[in-house]
Structure 1
Amino acid sequence: MLTNHHQDHCCPGFCDCLFPRCMEVTNHKGNILDLVKCRCGEADSGHRLDWLWQTTDSSDAQINGRDIIFHPTYSQGTAIVRGEKPLKAGKVHFWEMRIITALTGTDVMFGIGTENVNLEQFKFHFVSALGTNAQSWGFSYSGKIQHCGEQLPYGQKFSQGCLVGVYLDRCRGHLEFYLNRRALGVAYTNIPTDPDVLIYPMVCSTAAKSVISLVSSTSQEVTLQLRAFQTLSKQPQKLEELRQMPGLKSILQSYWFLAPPVRYSQRAKENELDLGDEAVLCPSSKLRLGRKQKYTETDGANIDDDLYSNAHKITLRRSLDSGDEEHTTSVHDMCDEYFHYLL
């Protein structure tokens, strides 16, 4: 769980690219994206794009391929944009967005919503639109999540230069958010798995000339291979060993979002958090814990209930026949149960 000290401060950007200052954005008459100077190569990363944003004439958002400029002239309410395709049931979906401008105002949110979300409902009202009712789920730039009008603390506040990722498992009904390619833990476990319920990726903003760019969007079939890699990827200390195995190269590329590369800016490195502090315990028997809890090895009763949520917090151990001495299981032992599925 993030400490209050970390929650009170805005998350540093993902890289040291040059992003436009507020006055530059305000005074610029052309394409705001022209003001961005990429230094890290992320702009040319070539990540997969299975879908882009949907264009509607009535929206107060200008869409150009992967880029959204909310309220290009001035803001008089909340603009909501959704993806052009529904996110199919029975699959896992991941998409990532880069925040180009400083986020200000009532709210800027990232998340999902059903086909019943009225994209123009708050066109003349400044609100936190995603999660106002049962039809949507949202993650605010304030660090809070919202569903059915209930806001809960979740992570750090974030703004310009950050990467926001969304992981949706429509097989299990799980929704999880990433910040600068760090998983923040399962936020909700009540996402409809019914294929008749159409769910779309969504973004909303009340801030004038706020710009969001889609970095990647991928959808994968739920297979035993994916689940096996998903479990193994939650063991950070083993990932480097997995990366050295030639037979896993194509799998790592296909499921890169489960073990994403991290490129922190110099300022972010100075404030780097421990991965363990970001893990949460979210049993499937509850919609979401009212308060995040860390997993400890004494909480063994919960391991089988939700291996996925806690896998990166579980140290795999075994007792030796000669006594009570324990040692951490090697990657080869750990793979006995999963590894052949990956190949």
Structure 2
Amino acid sequence: MLPMPSTNQDLRCPGFCDCRFPSSIDVANHKGNIPDMVTCRCGEDSGNGLQWQWYKDDESDAHIVGRNIIFHPTYSQGTAIARGEQPLQHDKVHFWEMRVITALAGTDVMFGIGTDSVNLEQFKFHFVSALGTNAQSWGYSYNGKIQHCGDQLPYGQKFSQGCLVGIFLDRTRGHLEFYLNRRSLGVAYTNIPTDPHVKIYPMVCSTAAKSVIRLINSTSQPATLQLRAFQSLVKHPEKLEELRQMPGLKSIMQSYWFLAPPVRYSRSSTDYELDLGDEAVLSSSKLRLGRKQKYRESDDVNIDEEDLYANAHKIPLRRNDSGDEEYAASIHEFCDEYFHYLL
């Protein structure tokens, strides 16, 4: 078993790109619309389309301006929670991505999901890690921890301004997975309700005054065999690249872009580039470290260490009830048969 390098826990994930973001002093002194202070040159703010946006609540201290959530625009006296405008359907997989516009600080800023039982005003006058305090929500903190039922667990790197936080929710399987700068951090929870009567919403919470989160992508797709095939292929980037060269599959690839999203890291953080693949999947979970060790030692897996996607998809999607990985193997067989049929 590989020990976790202590330095990785202390590193803060660098921003996704080199776009200009306002300093904390600029934000504190700014009297206008804070999102207007961001000058985006990388094109990511245009996104890949929005199938839902944030729910506007005039009584909340989370102000919605277009795709942006401006938490505590004057000063903070507690925790504000914002949610999506519509529940996420039970028979689909959902992916949405958010850009962190301002520097994050304070008690907590969290990204995740919650049911319609979550009281958005519950912690209005309390500074808490709101998402995951009970069984009705699941959260991922900017401190790198995940939380559910009040239990916090180490999960990934700390992150702040300029980073992209993605959330992949598979309601058909009850799986919740987080992405950081378009790298999968692995499945965080497998206990998300699949009951169609349970309404689940995207959520973000913050205790930080004048903190801004921008929604840049939101998509929902039926859980078809086609999607499962691509979900399996992303763990084999060399095969995925072959499919990208086939004109007849380009539209399909675009529909499932979030399963293998484009990666663009900041040129000013080149020191991190060689380690990002490993850092993204590092976790204190012995299970994840065991899987990572297994894939490195396997003679059957040919991974190009220079490939940007190589390390991000080494974790199997799920295990069967007996705890082994035969289920993943059967998925590969279905995928091979499906793509043979397509081609």
Which TM class, normalised by the smaller chain length? 0.7 to 0.9
Q: Hey, what does 2:100 align to over in structure 1?
A: 99
Report how many aligned residue pairs link the two structures.
Answer: 310
Q: 22, 25, 28: which is aligned to 2:24? A: 22
Contact 1:224 1:341 (8 Å CA) reproduced: no
Q: Deviation of residue 43 (structure 1)?
A: 2.0
Question: Which residue identity lines up with residue 132 of structure 1 in the other structure?
Answer: T
CA contact (8 A) 1:280 1:294 kept: no
SS at match of 1:6: helix
How far residue 240 of structure 1 moved from its aligned partner, in angstroms, is 1.9
- Give, in angstroms, the shift of residue 57 of structure 1: 1.4
5+ residue gaps, structure 1: 282-287, 300-305, 315-332
Q: How does 1:4-153 map to 2 (within 5 A)?
A: 4-45=6-47, 47-153=48-154
- Does the 8 Å contact 2:157/2:280 carry over to 1? no
3-state SS, counterpart of residue 130 of structure 1? coil
Q: TM-score, normalised by structure 1?
A: 0.85
Work out whether residues 96 and 216 of structure 1, in 8 Å CA contact, stay in contact via their aligned partners in 2.
Answer: yes
Deviation of the 1:63 alpha carbon: 0.4
| CA distance in structure 2 between the aligned counterparts of 1:109 and 1:342, rounded to whole angstroms | 41
Distance 2:237 2:254 in 1: 17
Deviation of the 1:337 alpha carbon? 2.7
- Greater Cα offset, 172-181 or 57-66: 57-66
Aligned to 1:255: 256
**1:323 match:** none
> Unaligned regions of 5+ residues in structure 2, if any?
299-314, 320-324, 326-332
**Quick one: structure 1 residues 335 and 147, their matched pair in 2 at CA, closer, same or farther if it must change by over 3 Å?**
closer
Output the CA distance in 2 between the equivalents of 1:165 and 1:12.
15
- 1:50 touches 1:218 (CA, 8 Å); kept in 2? yes
Matched, 1:308 2:325: no
Partner SS state of residue 308, structure 1: coil
Residue 293 of structure 1 aligns to a residue whose secondary structure is helix
Shift of 1:9: 1.2
Structure 2 letter corresponding to 1:59 = S
Contact 1:185/1:309, CA 8 A, preserved across alignment: no
CA–CA distance in structure 2, aligned partners of residues 261 and 132 of structure 1: 33
1:42 Cα deviation (Å)? 1.4
**1:18 alignment partner, SS class:** coil
1:214 aligns with 2:223: no
Distance 1:3 1:250 in 2: 41
Report if aligned partners of 1:83, 1:201 keep a CA contact under 8 Å in 2: yes
Q: Structure 1, residues 7-65: CA drift from partner, whole Å, max 9, x if none?
A: 211100000000000011000010111111112111234x1101000011110011012
How far is 1:246 from its partner?
A: 1.3
% of aligned pairs identical?
70
Residue 290 (structure 2) aligned to one of 281, 290, 294: 294
**Distance of aligned partners of 1:334 and 1:245 in 2 relative to their CA distance in 1, 3 Å threshold:** farther
Amino acid aligned to 2:174: G
Change (3 A) 1:206 1:340: same
- Relative to the length of structure 2, the TM-score reads 0.85
